[in-house]
Structure 1
Amino acid sequence: MANAFAGIELGKRSIMAHSQQIQTAGHNISNADTEGYSRQRVQVKTFDPLYRPDLTRAETPGQIGQGTTIESITRLRDEMLDQRIVAQSNNESYWATREQYYTMIEQVYNEPNDVSVRTNMDKFWQSWQELSVYPESKAARQAVVTRADSLTQSISGRYNSLAGIGTLLNGDIEATVKQVNDYAKQIADLNGEIVRSKAMGDNPNDLMDRRDLLVEKLSGLVEITSDRRDSDEFMVHVGGQVFVQGSVARGFDLVAQTDNNGYDKVVWKDTALDADIKSGKLGALIELRDSDIRNEIQSLNTMAVNFADLVNDVHRAGIGANNETGLDFFVQHPFVTDTKGNYDRNGDGEVDTSYIFRFSGKNALNPQEKVGLDGVMTLSGHSGNITVPYFANDTVEAVIARINDSQGEVKAYLDRENKLVLKAGASESMENPDFVLRHVEDSGLFLAGYSGILNGSGAENAYDFARADAVDSLAGEYSVAPVMNPSGYIAVSEKIKNDPNSVATGFPNGQGRASIGDARAAVEIASIRNTDVMIGTSRTFDDYFAETVTNAGLKGEQAENMLLSQNAIMDDLRNFRDSISGVNIDEELADIIKFQHGYNAAAKYVSVIDQMLDTIINRLGV
């Protein structure tokens, strides 16, 4: 049977329960502004009754209640909603990062503006047109030199700005990798503490809040998934691979890449294998550096090297007012000093590769003439070699168009003497050098006897850069590949700068001297502006500027629109989570008042029981 003091114990349990509820409400209020905090609630239940039906008990009309007890203190959290937020966070940070950096890229292009590369290029062509009208004018020659100098400086300035963004991205990648590793270590440490706390029968709400906050922050940096193998082991995966398992974190490492401007490659720290990170802030940074910025610089390099090469080609054939000829207008720096382009690529002391930028055929071709030949050309492509067929009824210009429209990294056109020219473009793969022809082969005679580029047809007469003296396969002229990033060093030659009379306006006459009023060279250089010169995927220089500026603007617009969309999605999810887990001050204050009344009532109950016991003990029988 219940003893006389059971009421005191029942009242004590009620006081303790209400006291804990008041304390928890106060804890919620004090953490109302704490990031990642989830409001907590005290779960109470009735205490076990005095008599249980499976035990021998006194005959009573029912079980005798013993008050209340605290079952647990839990946090209000929707795990399914948390997983949705983690799954979406990487997209939001991905587009935020791209939007931030494309704002910088758009500022580099500075279009439309009076000091942009395109404006300076237009002024450069205009100066040649003016010189073609006044070939004896020294002022017109000086204008050509001055505007060419302004153009080369603006091209170099754009390259330096883009390269600066690349360096900034590389530094941001290094900092983000450190942050990712730090979050992973903190999550692993918290996993250990949570497991130990649960083993003692506790419910570590605040520790789990901190872990969930770190997981959400980590999801903004890389795309992750989280799960529990059992009730205790918490795991985080990145790209389908385990990143954190229990109290163990793997982490990433950085390795410098010699074939990518010395930039760092992200690898797994324990295996040194490449880490495939496609989303989140880190994925956006890697994509921006290794794809977007690299493509922008390659596009600028392609324009610069072809621009200098085409102008120099005409200018070397021309003659200046001082009767000097054979001069390059722009400085060109060959990648190697070897006249055959031989280079020791693997660093073993023996030349093993040929770095050649351009082939020129020996024979002048008529673009409208049918080739009368069948065959298949094999050219280097983005990934391996590609084939380009030609047929007897094809015209020369149709075959050239087919080469340019293929997925190869070789471009073709007819030069000023209508000789076929093959040029190397920028390489899509980092493993391959830019502006280096890697493979040219013809099963027939279009590249051999017809155009005069190769010495013969078939694989045995093919040009392949992966050997020394590969130019022995060529029948025509060639030029060595330029030093890396020609847009960074392009400049007007010092000879031209020091003596504007060296600017070629015409071509040498029969005596090898300049003829008065001859402006044929100036006209030919000016006409390059609208000539199909195939700089990358662009056919003319104007096409190049239109495409590059449009491309940067569209990608910036895409990043901005996608960021706004992701922000709206995340705002809805976070607001929904706040409605469940967030602390409402008014609600907590109302709960405190309710718990306070319960506490007062329990205290009053204890006082009444105390008075009853006092009556029994001190007054009964008196």
Structure 2
Amino acid sequence: MSLLNVGARALLANQVALQTAGHNIANVNTPGYSRQTVVLQTVQGQFTGGGYIGQGVDVQTILRNQSELLTRQAAAAGSTQSADATRAERLRQLQEVFSGGATGLGAAINDMMNSFSDVVSSPTDLTARTVALTRIDETAARMRSASDRVNEIQYTVTEQLGSSITAINSLASQIASVNEQIARAKGNGQTPNDLLDHRDQLIRDINQYVQTTQIPADDGTVGLFVAGSQPLVLGTNATPLSVGDAQDFPGSGQLKLYFNPPGATPIEIDENMLGGGSVSGLLRFNNTDLAEGRNLLGRMALAIGTTMNYQQTLGLTLDGAAGKPLFATPASVQGSTAGSAVGTIDFTDPTKFSPTQFAASDYEVRYDAAGVGGQVVRLSDGKATAFASVGALAATQIDGLTFNFTTAGAANERVLFKPFASAAGNIQALVYSPRDLAAANPVNAAMGTANAGTLQLSQLKATGVPTPPGLVLPPNGDTATPPAFPGGIQLRFNAGPPATYDVLNRGSSPATTVATAQPYTPGAPISIDGWQITLQGTPKSGDTVNVGNALDPQYGDYYTRNAGNASALMGLRDVKMFDNATLSDGYAGAIAQVGTRTQSASFAANLSTTIAANLERDRTAVSGVNLDEEAAKLIQFQQAYQASAKMLQIAQNIFDNLIQTVGR
């Protein structure tokens, strides 16, 4: 009988081994499957006077070949890779918005600025004026198109976040369900290998969306935590996540991940605590990368629009009227807060903003614990500017912006300002009639007829600065014949050395002296009453330059043939506007900033992909199924099974012979 028992045990053990090898082969392509191995143990021998007689073999357990460390490392690396790859993919889409070439926004801006050269050459040519206005309209259209593309990217990001949250909540519920099955199965004292594989695969899947921390419990369940401490899955219970607007800045476009415990207020999760996962990458892209791209685009639109509008309003149209704005730009930007503060940034008063100082960033005004002072934080780099009160804040320009509060914030309140977010999407051309292009200077200048020096007029333009008083035109002369006074402003020179000039107001008789002995430097601008004249050459004593009001009747319609303001508009292309770069170089700088982010994100994605692939390979080396190895085991266990069957056959023959012998 003992031989029969030994053979039966061997037959069953080898049958289990064959079944396990077949199970491995069947699941060679199953994601997350861990190779299983039969662990055999010797049955305790029977003691006799002649020693212990062996009683065969039993199956101790079915071992799951896996490394807990490698499994967790592979899941974490895969989570990081998912975040980096998602962000890099979206940044490549954003980079396409800031494209170069003939169809890019930079080319449209250059064409617009260069179109003023024909107006300067022929100010009365309506065709040249029409081309300039067409270029202005095309630039505005391309800015709106670029803004629409940014909005489309943001829409797809929001949709992807929504689908990712749905997937996370579904996977969390499945993990909770598998936890329950595992806890029940563990009661029999054996490990449910396939359920554990299934749970590990679900954990790897959920880490593709949001990185989790796994903590095992004594009952065999695993708790999953996000952002370090929020229990996404705890035992057999799963808590849903959601995405919504930031609590402090509703309607601002900033998105946050929320943890939603039952019966409690949703908890906003800091995206910097999320680690990896596509949700983390999407939130970072939306709140940082996309915001910067929108700000770069909006800053360009707002700076170009406000600067050209201001210069246009300083000039005269073909009908002698003051110019009207070329572009529609935002009048003000409202701050976003969940508190009581009410604040704006005003773009209607040129004394309250300076386009050449704009920084492509959002800003937070953070009130202190007393709710009186605080600091303004530039979010692009964290630079903070302190203020003692809202009055002091309104009197201070920060990056060319002035923050005005009609209602101060409460203690520790935060107010978010996005001064450039909507500028590109709302810009449009306002002037379509070529006669309404303010190409003429509101002032004109002439050298004195008796000048003996080498003075020459280099440039004359209206600047409107300092403000106040802004542009103050020279007085008109007397229209009587002969005139009682000539009008205008006269610069009267003294050869020196050093060379100086006096400023005379000829708006009355006799002329009044406004300033005396002002230093003269050839090529250095002379600024008076909001207009600027630049002279070259060396004066003789008594040389004069007369500057008059272009609409003074004594000059007739000369202003229609003047293109001084068109020249000033064209000169804006060389003004340092963006990050201490000229207008033509500013767009290239924007391309470089987005390109640098994209390149950095692509490098990070490639690196994390390599690390994740290496760790997954290491995990697979431990847990993966090798078909050659399993085929060899099939032959091995088949032969052992056949030998066990032969053993039973021999035992049966012996037993039969014994019965026959006893029966005689």
TM over 0.5: yes
SS at match of 1:166: helix
SS at match of 2:224: strand
- The alpha-carbon deviation at position 517 of structure 1 amounts to 2.2
Distance in 2 (alpha carbons) for counterparts of 1:87 and 1:131? 63
Structure 1 counterpart of 2:611, from 557, 569, 590:
569
- The alpha-carbon deviation at position 602 of structure 1 amounts to 0.7
Distance in 2 (alpha carbons) for counterparts of 1:285 and 1:237? 20
- Which residue number corresponds to residue 179 of structure 2? 191
Assess, with a 3 A threshold, how the Cα gap between structure 1 residues 128 and 514 changes in structure 2: closer, same or farther: same
- Which residue number corresponds to residue 545 of structure 2? none
Could you say which structure has the larger radius of gyration?
Answer: 2
Structure 2 counterpart of 1:243, from 211, 232, 236:
232
- Which residue number corresponds to residue 544 of structure 1? 586
Q: Number of matched residues?
A: 513
Task: Give the TM-score normalised by the residue count of structure 2.
Answer: 0.71
Tell me whether 1:22 sits opposite 2:11 in the alignment. Answer: no
- The alpha-carbon deviation at position 187 of structure 1 amounts to 1.2
- Which residue number corresponds to residue 40 of structure 1? 36
Structure 2 residue identity aligned to 1:50: Q
Assess, with a 3 A threshold, how the Cα gap between structure 1 residues 483 and 71 changes in structure 2: closer, same or farther: closer
- Which residue number corresponds to residue 147 of structure 1? 135
Structure 2 counterpart of 1:173, from 135, 138, 161:
161
- Which residue number corresponds to residue 257 of structure 2? 266
Tell me whether 1:506 sits opposite 2:440 in the alignment. Answer: yes
Tell me whether 1:441 sits opposite 2:392 in the alignment. Answer: yes
Gaps in structure 1 of 5+ consecutive residues: 52-58, 363-379, 387-406, 410-425, 431-437, 452-462, 470-480
Distance in 2 (alpha carbons) for counterparts of 1:198 and 1:326? 84
Residues 462-512 of structure 1 deviation map (CA, whole Å, 9 limit, x = unaligned) = x9622269xxxxxxxxxxx9896021121111xx21x21111111341338
- The alpha-carbon deviation at position 332 of structure 1 amounts to 3.4
RMSD of Structure 2 on Structure 1 (CA)? 3.3
SS at match of 2:55: coil
- Which residue number corresponds to residue 96 of structure 1? 85
Distance in 2 (alpha carbons) for counterparts of 1:442 and 1:344? 17
Assess, with a 3 A threshold, how the Cα gap between structure 1 residues 207 and 103 changes in structure 2: closer, same or farther: same
Structure 2 residue identity aligned to 1:466: F
Assess, with a 3 A threshold, how the Cα gap between structure 1 residues 483 and 218 changes in structure 2: closer, same or farther: closer
SS at match of 1:465: strand
Assess, with a 3 A threshold, how the Cα gap between structure 1 residues 440 and 151 changes in structure 2: closer, same or farther: farther
- Which residue number corresponds to residue 435 of structure 1? none
Distance in 2 (alpha carbons) for counterparts of 1:233 and 1:182? 18
- Which residue number corresponds to residue 607 of structure 1? 649
Assess, with a 3 A threshold, how the Cα gap between structure 1 residues 464 and 30 changes in structure 2: closer, same or farther: closer
2:80·2:608 contact (CA, 8 Å) conserved in 1?
Answer: yes
Structure 2 residue identity aligned to 1:84: Q
Distance in 2 (alpha carbons) for counterparts of 1:155 and 1:21? 70
Residues 375-406 of structure 1 deviation map (CA, whole Å, 9 limit, x = unaligned) = xxxxx9755489xxxxxxxxxxxxxxxxxxxx
SS at match of 1:41: strand
Structure 2 residue identity aligned to 1:265: K
- Which residue number corresponds to residue 46 of structure 2? 50
Distance in 2 (alpha carbons) for counterparts of 1:577 and 1:347? 51
Task: Give the TM-score normalised by the residue count of structure 1.
Answer: 0.76
Tell me whether 1:252 sits opposite 2:241 in the alignment. Answer: yes
Tell me whether 1:325 sits opposite 2:319 in the alignment. Answer: no
Matches within 5 A, 1:297-312: 297-312=294-309
Structure 2 residue identity aligned to 1:313: Y
Distance in 2 (alpha carbons) for counterparts of 1:33 and 1:521? 74
- The alpha-carbon deviation at position 322 of structure 1 amounts to 2.7
Distance in 2 (alpha carbons) for counterparts of 1:83 and 1:482? 44
Structure 1 counterpart of 2:288, from 266, 271, 291:
291
- Which residue number corresponds to residue 532 of structure 1? 576
Assess, with a 3 A threshold, how the Cα gap between structure 1 residues 517 and 278 changes in structure 2: closer, same or farther: farther
2:81·2:276 contact (CA, 8 Å) conserved in 1?
Answer: no
- Which residue number corresponds to residue 594 of structure 1? 636
SS at match of 2:560: coil
Assess, with a 3 A threshold, how the Cα gap between structure 1 residues 484 and 576 changes in structure 2: closer, same or farther: closer
- Which residue number corresponds to residue 218 of structure 2? 230
Structure 1 counterpart of 2:563, from 487, 496, 519:
519
- Percent of aligned positions with the same letter in both sequences? 24
- The alpha-carbon deviation at position 621 of structure 1 amounts to 5.9
SS at match of 2:38: strand
1:227·1:234 contact (CA, 8 Å) conserved in 2?
Answer: yes
- The alpha-carbon deviation at position 539 of structure 1 amounts to 4.6
SS at match of 1:515: helix
Distance in 2 (alpha carbons) for counterparts of 1:162 and 1:225? 34
- The alpha-carbon deviation at position 295 of structure 1 amounts to 1.4
Assess, with a 3 A threshold, how the Cα gap between structure 1 residues 516 and 464 changes in structure 2: closer, same or farther: closer
- Which residue number corresponds to residue 205 of structure 1? 193
Report which of the two has the higher share of helix.
Answer: 1
2:251·2:336 contact (CA, 8 Å) conserved in 1?
Answer: no
- Which residue number corresponds to residue 455 of structure 1? none
- The alpha-carbon deviation at position 526 of structure 1 amounts to 1.1
1:506·1:514 contact (CA, 8 Å) conserved in 2?
Answer: no
Structure 1 counterpart of 2:346, from 340, 356, 377:
356
Structure 2 counterpart of 1:128, from 85, 99, 116:
116
Assess, with a 3 A threshold, how the Cα gap between structure 1 residues 381 and 283 changes in structure 2: closer, same or farther: closer
Distance in 2 (alpha carbons) for counterparts of 1:561 and 1:152? 35
Structure 2 counterpart of 1:488, from 401, 425, 434:
425
Residues 22-51 of structure 1 deviation map (CA, whole Å, 9 limit, x = unaligned) = 011111111111111111111110112234
SS at match of 1:327: coil
1:38·1:581 contact (CA, 8 Å) conserved in 2?
Answer: yes
Residues 176-197 of structure 1 deviation map (CA, whole Å, 9 limit, x = unaligned) = 1111111211111111101100
Structure 1 residue identity aligned to 2:276: S
Distance in 1 (alpha carbons) for counterparts of 2:224 and 2:425? 44
Distance in 2 (alpha carbons) for counterparts of 1:440 and 1:545? 35
- Which residue number corresponds to residue 369 of structure 1? none
- The alpha-carbon deviation at position 550 of structure 1 amounts to 0.6
Distance in 1 (alpha carbons) for counterparts of 2:428 and 2:73? 54
Assess, with a 3 A threshold, how the Cα gap between structure 1 residues 117 and 27 changes in structure 2: closer, same or farther: same
- The alpha-carbon deviation at position 90 of structure 1 amounts to 1.8
Structure 2 residue identity aligned to 1:283: S
- The alpha-carbon deviation at position 223 of structure 1 amounts to 2.1
- The alpha-carbon deviation at position 519 of structure 1 amounts to 0.9
Report which of the two has the higher share of strand.
Answer: 2
1:439·1:465 contact (CA, 8 Å) conserved in 2?
Answer: yes
SS at match of 1:274: strand
Gaps in structure 2 of 5+ consecutive residues: 353-361, 369-374, 383-388, 409-417, 443-549
- The alpha-carbon deviation at position 172 of structure 1 amounts to 0.9
2:317·2:439 contact (CA, 8 Å) conserved in 1?
Answer: yes
2:298·2:420 contact (CA, 8 Å) conserved in 1?
Answer: no
Structure 2 residue identity aligned to 1:315: Q
